[in-house]
């Protein structure tokens, strides 16, 4: 069966990636005179800002993910393909697909307009061998892996007779002091000091150490310094030790080498390391750049024009974490790798496509910064929203409302608010499941 109509009567729009940017582009094309094909290697949209709560047992996987077909079932001009994009033929206007569910490879999908929203992944700064020992928090699989490791570490400490080894099982290292790292460190501390403290008989889970390692001179560098310091103080009250101006220089199977600003290296015994530092563009950015005869920057990002199209290819859009933008004055800007950026770009691309159908021009893309939010723990967060700086309970409520608003699907919103209410009232976490076989997740 052909993946493309032989004689299309409407313009064919192919969107690669069902993340924040790609999904927004698809949804905003509802009712347009186009046929949209959404291609993703996963069959769900992941609400990535809440993935760390899956990793710490606060939420289950299904509560932060929504099946793409269910999300788009009422949008009659859209079809969804489960496949992996392996290349682009820009001259023939085709996308090369591999790993289709029926085993097919090398299939070609034709388009009139292409939107690539491949997202990003964490960068291990040239040490990809650390990836196995320090999983990342960008994916659902990574979150489940981390949850297995965290819970297995407490189980191992419970049966470990050697005091030093027990201490290493109860030491957790989070690499990266951005919002994800801060949120993850706070959640592990709360898990150890509240949710698990009555569950074990031979260990005191409150003795667990959580180290947050950040190369910069403060955590949350995207926030004003005053909020960074408040967040650091809140983490310390939870029992987290922020190590600013420190760098991880090696990750072993049971230890982490951390270098201080003075150059001294400390070998910390720790079986559980979580990576939330450094971002690199999706490999799709490199594949698209190669097809267009252009280059990527050091972070693997592709350069696009002010209307988010490729130079010499106005029919090809690239958006999200995988691009940097040449503005009208010639300056090149790399916008933050945040969901609001991708969402605004997705909506903009849909507007450009609609305007082209009507023969209208569209102004260049302008990002509207609505602020930053980061939660630290129970009733603790920081917020910088349009110049208004909040910390503590008010910021935490703001964080809750914003994330519930953007979460896809009424059912997921209902389930998440129920989980959060239960957790707030009882200090419990209902998704504390180890789902891998013993010995495979925390070695």
**Which residues are tagged catalytic?**
183
Residue 424: count of CB within 10 angstroms of its CB: 12
Match 């009232």 to its residue by tokens: 425
- The three state secondary structure string of the chain is CCCCCCCCCCEEEEEECCCHHHHHHHHCCCCCCEEEEEEECCCEEECHHHHHHHHCCCCCHHHCEEEHHHHCCCCCCEEEEECEEEEEECCCCEEEEECCCCCCCCEEEECCEEEECCCEEECCCCCHHHCCCCCECCCHHHHHHHHHHHHHHHHHHHHCCCHHHHHHHCEEEEECCCHHHHHHHHHHHHHHHHHCCCCCCCCCHHHCEEEEEECCCCCCCCCCHHHHHHHHHHHHHHCEEEEECCEEEEECCCEEEEECCCCCEEEEECCEEEECCCEEECHHHHHHHHHHCCCECCCCCEEECCCCEECCEEEEEECHHHEEEECCCCCEECCCCCHHHHHHHHHHHHHHHHHHHHCCCCCCCCCCCCCEEEEEECCEEEEEECCEEEECHHHHHHHHHHHHHHCCCHHHHHHHHHHHHHHHHHCCCCCCCCCCCCCCCCC
CB 345 within 8 A of CB 321: no
CA 181/CA 376 separation, integer angstroms = 10
């Amino acid at each position: 069966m052909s993946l493309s109509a032989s004689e299309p009567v409407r313009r064919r729009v192919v969107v690669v990636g069902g993340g924040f940017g790609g999904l927004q582009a698809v949804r905003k094309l509802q009712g347009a005179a186009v046929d949209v094909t959404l291609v993703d290697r996963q069959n769900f949209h992941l609400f990535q800002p809440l993935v760390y709560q899956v990793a710490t047992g606060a939420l289950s996987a299904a509560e932060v993910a929504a099946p793409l077909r269910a999300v788009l079932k009422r949008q009659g001009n859209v079809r969804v393909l489960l496949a992996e994009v392996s290349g682009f033929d820009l001259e023939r206007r085709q996308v090369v697909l591999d790993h289709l569910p029926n085993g097919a490879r090398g299939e070609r999908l034709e388009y009139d307009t292409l939107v690539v929203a491949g997202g990003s992944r964490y960068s291990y700064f040239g040490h990809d061998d650390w990836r196995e020992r320090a999983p990342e928090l960008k994916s659902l699989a990574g979150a489940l892996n981390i949850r297995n490791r965290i819970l297995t570490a407490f189980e191992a400490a419970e049966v470990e007779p050697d005091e030093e080894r027990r201490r290493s099982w109860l030491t957790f290292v989070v690499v990266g002091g951005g919002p994800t790292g801060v949120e993850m460190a706070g959640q592990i501390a709360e898990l150890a000091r509240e949710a698990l403290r009555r569950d074990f008989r031979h260990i005191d889970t409150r003795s667990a150490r959580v180290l947050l390692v950040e190369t910069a001179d403060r955590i949350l560098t995207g926030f004003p310094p005053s909020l960074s310091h408040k967040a650091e103080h809140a983490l310390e009250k939870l029992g987290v030790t922020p190590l600013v101006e420190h760098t991880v220089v090696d990750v072993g199977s049971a230890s982490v080498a951390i270098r201080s600003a003075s150059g001294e290296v400390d070998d910390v015994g720790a079986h559980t390391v979580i990576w939330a530092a450094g971002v690199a563009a999706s490999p799709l950015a490199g594949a698209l750049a190669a097809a267009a005869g252009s280059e990527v920057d050091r972070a693997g990002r592709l350069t696009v024009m002010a209307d988010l199209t490729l130079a010499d290819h106005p029919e090809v859009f690239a958006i999200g974490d995988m691009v940097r933008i040449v503005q009208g004055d010639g300056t090149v800007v790399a916008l933050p790798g945040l969901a609001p950026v991708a969402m605004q770009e997705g909506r903009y691309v849909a507007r450009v496509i609609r305007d082209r159908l009507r023969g209208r021009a569209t102004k260049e893309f302008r990002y509207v910064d609505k602020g930053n939010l980061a939660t630290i723990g129970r009733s603790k967060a920081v917020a910088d929203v349009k110049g208004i700086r909040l910390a503590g309970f008010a910021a935490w409520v703001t964080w809750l409302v914003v994330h519930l608003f953007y979460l896809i699907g009424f059912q997921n919103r209902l389930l998440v608010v129920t989980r959060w209410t239960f957790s707030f009232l009882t200090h419990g976490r209902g998704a504390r499941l180890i789902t891998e076989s013993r010995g495979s997740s925390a070695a």
